[in-house]
């Protein structure tokens, strides 16, 4: 299922090993890789956390996390779990205490000597972003970036920076000790099978690509809708908002894969060279255009059936007068020959009626509508790339209703990705962790791509900050966000899709 590159013995150090991401995503992904026999013979996980605890206590924590997030697998595999836990170690490290990294270095070197493996080490920064620079700096202080006796790689979680300037600043700091090929900026959307499948769909088949351009495509709609609110993440989210949290990274990366040119060869540099060109070609939205091209919203307290959902401003960690957006919809353009003036509508929001991520390619109508008078529905040719749930592809087109005359009805021809896989579809984090372990950065974001997407997003954030006349619309939970989002289409008949789960 994964890269053909050889996997070497190695250590994976998780900073923030007691945190939510480590428990919920990273440890389960590592365990799945282990049980799937993807890990090398000598592989260990080292939890690096600020709490004082011994190895046994950490192993208990890991077991608890795996039992919580992989209940079925763990119930069925107690032997495997025991074996896995033997590969789990712990070292107390306070991220901001430089001296602690001397202890960490000695610990890791002793461990690699004991296991008789080279000092190949991945450092996973599963920590709050403000600590990235500090931890990178501390690693460098004690030579933990040194590749003489084995490679060293860092995986940095999103958000990478807080704006264009801070992303550049962070990048400079990380490069102070780590080369670009040692830095893995993770965007878990790129690890999703179905996002990668967009490339296969487009570039393996001969029949999509000829119509994949401004001549045949009317518009593209990209939606990432979530049913949940910000839950316990109000503190983080209030400084971030939907634009930074979902669009700057995940959805612009998806857009880049949908809109990229075919690379000449299938390797990391060629693919990333093409995706970055898309991001660089995004037409900047000027401050004066933000009100017309971007709609923001925030959910309010709503009674949905028997449940009262609290409003965003009542969430823990959120300022009571917060103007942070929990919904955003954007009309964007890619200024290049393929896409000309084709609008890309991008939308994301919390507390919407469905948990759906999809890309919809709306094709232009046939040039002459022969059946116009007979149609029961508007002609509607679409290619739907479903990322979540029910991953797959559907094509919508008109068919004659059997019987007399020529009545036409829209039908859907759908393929579900799950029908293809005999084994389970790997989680994004499994795929991405393994890619880093073998040194394949294709599905990690490159510095130039991160900068290009901040360049697009920054003026919108600035306009919201300086121009208080740009409205923040409130919407009820379990609705598709503010109705004003439909105004982006500039046509009173057109509105956003309301996909079902």
Q: Closest Cα partner for 444 from 122, 147, 259, 189?
A: 189
Cα-Cα-Cα-Cα torsion 283, 289, 292, 298, nearest 10 degrees, comes to 90
Shortest distance, position 265 Cβ to ligand BG6, whole Å: 29
Kindly state whether residue 193 participates in binding ligand BG6, applying the rule CB under 6 A.
no
Tokens at 341, concatenated: 């003036």
Residue 392: CB atoms within 10 A of its CB come to 18
**CB distance 224 to 241 below 8 Å:** no
Residue nearest to ligand BG6 (CB): 245
**173 vs 227 by CB, closer to ligand BG6:** 227
Spatial CA neighbour of 420 closest among 114, 200, 270: 200
Where in 435-494 is the site for ligand BG6 (CB under 6 A)?
none
Binding string, residues 264-283; x marks residues near ligand BG6 by CB under 6 A: --------------------
In eight-state DSSP terms, residue 207 is T
- Cβ of residue 287: shortest distance to ligand BG6, in angstroms? 26
* Footprint (CB under 6 A) of ligand BG6, residues 386-415: 388
CA dist 322 and 199 (Å) reads 39
- State the Cα angle at 449 between 392 and 202, rounded to 5°: 30
Contact between 315 and ligand BG6 by CB under 6 A: the answer reads no
Tell me how many degrees the CA angle 129-134-136 measures, rounded to the nearest 5.
Answer: 95
| Nearest distance from C-beta of residue 386 to ligand BG6, angstroms | 13
Contacts of 193 (CB under 8 A, 6+ apart): 391, 417, 425, 426, 428, 431
List 197, 357, 479, 486, residue binding ligand BG6 (CB under 6 A)? 357
Given the residues 94, 175, 188, 250, select the one marked as catalytic.
250
We find the least distance from the C-beta atom of residue 193 to ligand BG6, in angstroms, to be: 12
- As measured in angstroms, the least distance from the Cβ of 389 to ligand BG6 is 10
Residue with smaller CB distance to ligand BG6, 226 or 430:
226
Check residue 325 for interaction with ligand BG6 (CB under 6 A): no
Residue 245 Cβ, how far from ligand BG6 at the closest point, in Å? 5
Rule CB under 6 A: is residue 226 a binding residue for ligand BG6? Answer: yes
Describe the strand order of the beta sheet including 344-349 as a list of residue ranges. 408-416, 392-400, 382-388, 356-363, 217-225, 344-349, 327-332, 294-300, 472-476
Of 228 and 411, the one with the shorter C-beta distance to ligand BG6 is 228
Considering beta carbons, is residue 247 or 290 the nearer one to ligand BG6? 247
Q: Which token pair is 246?
A: 């979902």
Q: How far is the CB of 5 from ligand BG6 (least distance, A)?
A: 25
SS3 content of the chain, % helix, strand, coil (to 5): 40, 20, 40
250 is catalytic: yes
For residue 25, give the nearest of 257, 188, 248, 160 by alpha carbon. 188
**Are 194 and 391 contacting, i.e. CB atoms less than 8 angstroms apart?**
yes
* Alpha-carbon gap, residue 61 to 63, rounded angstroms: 5
Instruction: Determine if 245 is a binding residue for ligand BG6 (CB under 6 A).
Output: yes
Is 182 or 357 the residue whose CB approaches ligand BG6 more closely? 357
**SS3 label, residue 423:** coil
Residue 36 token pair: 């799937």
- For residues 150 to 169, the per-residue mask of contacts with ligand BG6, x marking binding by CB under 6 A and - elsewhere, is --------------------
Beta strands in 134-243 (DSSP E): 152-156, 183-185, 217-225
How far, in Å, are 221, 255, 332 from residue 292 at the CA level? 17, 21, 11
Between residues 18 and 348, which has the closer beta carbon with respect to ligand BG6? Answer: 348
Q: Which residue do the tokens 């107690």 mark?
A: 78
Least spacing, CB of residue 424 vs ligand BG6, in Å = 16
Alpha helices, DSSP H, located in 116-192: 132-141, 164-175
CB of 230 to ligand BG6, least distance (A): 7
CB of 343 or CB of 481, closer to ligand BG6: 481
Nearer to ligand BG6, 20 or 267 (CB): 20
DSSP assignment, residue 321?
T
C-beta closer to ligand BG6: residue 100 or 226: 226
Total residues contacting ligand BG6 by CB under 6 A comes to 5
| Binding site residues, ligand BG6, CB under 6 A | 188, 226, 245, 357, 388
Catalytic residues: 250
């Amino acid at each position: 299922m994964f890269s053909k590159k050889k996997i070497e013995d190695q250590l994976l150090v998780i900073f923030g090993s007691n945190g939510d991401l480590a428990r919920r995503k990273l440890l389960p992904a590592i365990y799945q890789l282990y049980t799937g026999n993807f890990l090398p013979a000598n592989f260990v996980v080292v939890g690096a956390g600020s709490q004082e605890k011994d190895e046994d206590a950490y192993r208990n924590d890991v077991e608890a996390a795996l039992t919580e997030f992989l209940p079925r697998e763990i119930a069925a595999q107690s032997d495997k779990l025991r074996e896995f836990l033997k590969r789990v170690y712990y070292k107390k490290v306070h991220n901001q205490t430089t001296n602690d990294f001397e202890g960490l270095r000695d610990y890791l070197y002793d461990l690699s000597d004991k296991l008789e493996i080279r000092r190949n080490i991945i450092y996973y920064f599963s920590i709050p972003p403000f600590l990235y620079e500090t931890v990178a700096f501390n690693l460098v202080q004690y030579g933990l970036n040194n590749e003489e006796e084995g490679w060293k790689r860092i995986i940095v979680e999103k958000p990478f920076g807080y704006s264009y300037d801070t992303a550049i600043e962070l990048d400079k700091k990380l490069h102070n000790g780590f080369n670009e090929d040692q830095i893995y900026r993770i965007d878990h959307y790129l690890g999703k099978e179905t996002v990668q499948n967009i490339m296969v769909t487009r570039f393996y088949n001969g029949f999509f690509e000829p119509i994949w351009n401004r001549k045949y495509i009317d518009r593209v709609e990209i939606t990432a809708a979530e049913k949940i609110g910000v839950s316990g993440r109000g503190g983080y989210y209030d400084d971030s908002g939907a634009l930074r949290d979902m669009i700057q990274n995940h959805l612009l990366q998806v857009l880049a894969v949908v809109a990229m040119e075919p690379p000449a060869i299938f390797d990391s540099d060629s693919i990333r060279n093409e995706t970055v060109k898309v991001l660089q070609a995004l037409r900047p939205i000027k401050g004066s255009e933000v009100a017309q091209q971007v709609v923001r919203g925030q959910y309010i307290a709503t009674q949905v059936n028997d449940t009262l959902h609290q409003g965003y401003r009542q969430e823990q960690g959120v300022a009571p007068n917060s103007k942070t957006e929990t919904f955003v919809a954007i009309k964007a353009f890619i200024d290049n020959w393929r896409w000309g003036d084709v609008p890309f509508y991008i939308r994301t929001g919390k507390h919407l009626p469905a948990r759906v991520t999809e890309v919809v390619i709306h094709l232009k109508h046939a040039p002459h509508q022969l059946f116009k008078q007979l149609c029961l529905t508007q002609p509607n040719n679409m290619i739907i790339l479903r990322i979540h749930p029910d991953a797959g592809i559907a094509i919508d087109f008109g068919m004659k209703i059997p019987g007399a005359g020529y009545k036409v009805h829209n039908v859907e021809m759908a393929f579900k990705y799950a029908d293809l896989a005999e084994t389970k579809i790997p989680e994004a984090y499994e795929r991405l962790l393994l890619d880093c372990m073998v040194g394949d950065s294709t599905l990690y974001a490159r510095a130039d791509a991160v900068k290009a997407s901040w360049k697009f997003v920054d003026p919108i954030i600035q306009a919201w900050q300086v121009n208080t006349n740009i409205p923040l619309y409130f919407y009820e939970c379990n609705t598709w966000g503010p109705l004003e989002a439909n105004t982006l289409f500039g046509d009173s008949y057109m509105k956003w899709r309301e996909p079902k789960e």
